Amino acid sequence: MKISVFTLGCKTNFYESQQIVAALKQLGHDASEGLEKADIFVLNTCAITAEAERKSRQAVARARKLNPDCRIVVMGCASQNNATQFENLDNVTFIKGTEGKTDVADILENAGVGICPPSDRYSETLFADGQRTRSFIKIQDGCNNFCSYCIVPYLRGRSRSRKIEDIVNEVRQATSEEVVLIGIDITQFGRDNGTSLAQLFDALPDDKRYRLGSLEESALTEDVLESLKRKNFCAHFHLSLQSGSDSVLKRMNRHYTAQQFADGVRLIRGYFPDAAFTTDVIVGFCGETEEEFEQTCRFVEQIGFADIHVFPYSARKGTVASRWEDTPAEVKHLRAERLGEIKRKLKSDFLNSQIGKTEEVLAERSRNGMWEGYSRNYTRVYFKGNATEGQTVKVIAKELYKDGVKGDLL
């Protein structure tokens, strides 16, 4: 049977989709990721914003267009949040939420609605499949933070950590040279089972190069940074900021101040002087004044981020902030444009700082005679020459090119 697994949202969703594909293949089915003609479509949805939920509903129509006679299984955050939005859509035969995604018996046999509360324990299932140049490996699920704007803890449940031995076993089976450790909030890894990120890194094999997914600066204590230094770690840190204003951070229920964030960056740079820092910032959060927004602008310039993902605030029903007065859309739009200009300047400054440096680049794909891949600090690098997919090569960065730099292969 041909089964297409289509994913919306975060890297954790993509990892879980790869687990589903692996489980279906093990049963002998022709399963693959992506939206292509199939007998059954499995839609792994997202609900981080109202727009993400809209795209999840659109995916149902896109699947039906590819095969009007198909069966569609909807799962993930959008259906956990609101199953009724999918119940009356043609061809949708089964709806489940975030729990038990990889139970293929549900996908193949069940019908109706099967939404369960998230588990309070990490559920170990099959390893992910289909990862070639870079392996994403899930180490944690859920979140305990309950930021006032975020619906994810209500959909994914409380933080629960995977056993270190299971993570290590999956890393050993990964065929790629690079491994990225991901989760919903990997900052909280180990707090529920008596382990820690430092213990995890000390246990990881030495024959891979490693990255961390998005996390908060508080996770990067001296013992964690010491353990990272002992591994082949890629010094790129995606630290979730959201605002550079202490008063906005307090309304967001973020558990740090701008100064604490800056102190964390300073500590990391002491261990990794050439580290690149990227972040997320929400503009126009409820009650954000012009001065609070200016504080954010000044702060991101002070840190010198290599890149910033800018998001206008989007209210999510069911969160604390959804009951507060929203910022006018035109104000959010103008602030996103202003911060976007700062982001582009900071990114240009960072890329210019890479010129003349020799980068270790993971060759990921070749198009029109030009290879492209990422350096250790997550700069996109383009180069010509003899390489193979998944190989790490050395490239001297010569000039700015597209969204990164172009260089010469050594």
* pLDDT tens-digit series, residues 390-410: 999 999 999 999 999 999 999
Q: d(Cα 228, Cα 215) in Å, to the nearest integer?
A: 15
Q: Would you call 268 helix, strand, or coil by DSSP?
A: helix
- Give 237's strand partners: 277
Please list, in sequence order, all residues whose beta carbon lies within 8 angstroms of the beta carbon of residue 156, skipping any fewer than 6 positions away. Answer: 77, 98, 118, 141, 142, 143, 184
| Per-residue pLDDT tens listing for the chain (410 residues) | 999 999 999 999 999 999 999 999 999 999 999 999 999 999 999 999 999 999 999 999 999 999 999 999 999 999 999 999 999 999 999 999 999 998 888 888 889 999 999 998 898 877 886 667 889 999 999 999 999 999 999 999 999 999 999 999 999 999 899 999 999 999 999 999 999 999 999 999 999 999 999 999 999 999 999 999 999 999 999 999 999 999 999 999 999 999 999 999 999 999 999 999 999 999 999 999 999 999 999 999 999 999 999 999 999 999 999 999 999 999 999 999 999 999 999 999 999 999 999 999 999 999 999 999 999 999 999 999 999 999 999 999 999 999 999 999 99
- Furthest-apart CA pair in the chain: how many Å? 60
Q: What is the pLDDT of residue 123?
A: 82
**Residue pair 96/174 in contact by the 8 Å Cβ criterion:** no
- In the chain, the amino acid numbered 396 is I
- For position 130, what pLDDT does the model report? 60
- The count of other CB atoms within 10 Å of the CB of residue 273 is 8
| Structural domains of the chain in order of their starting residue, each with its CATH number | 2-114 (3.40.50.12160), 131-234 (3.30.750.210), 241-354 (3.30.750.200), 355-409 (2.40.50.140)
Strands (E), 217-349: 236-238, 276-283, 307-312
Distance CA 330, CA 410 (A): 50
What crossing angle do the helices spanning 258-271 and 222-229 adopt, rounded to 10°? Answer: 30
Q: How far apart are CA 336 and CA 338, in angstroms?
A: 5
In the prediction, which pLDDT does 104 show? Answer: 85
Supply φ then ψ for residue 125, to 5 degrees.
-135, -165
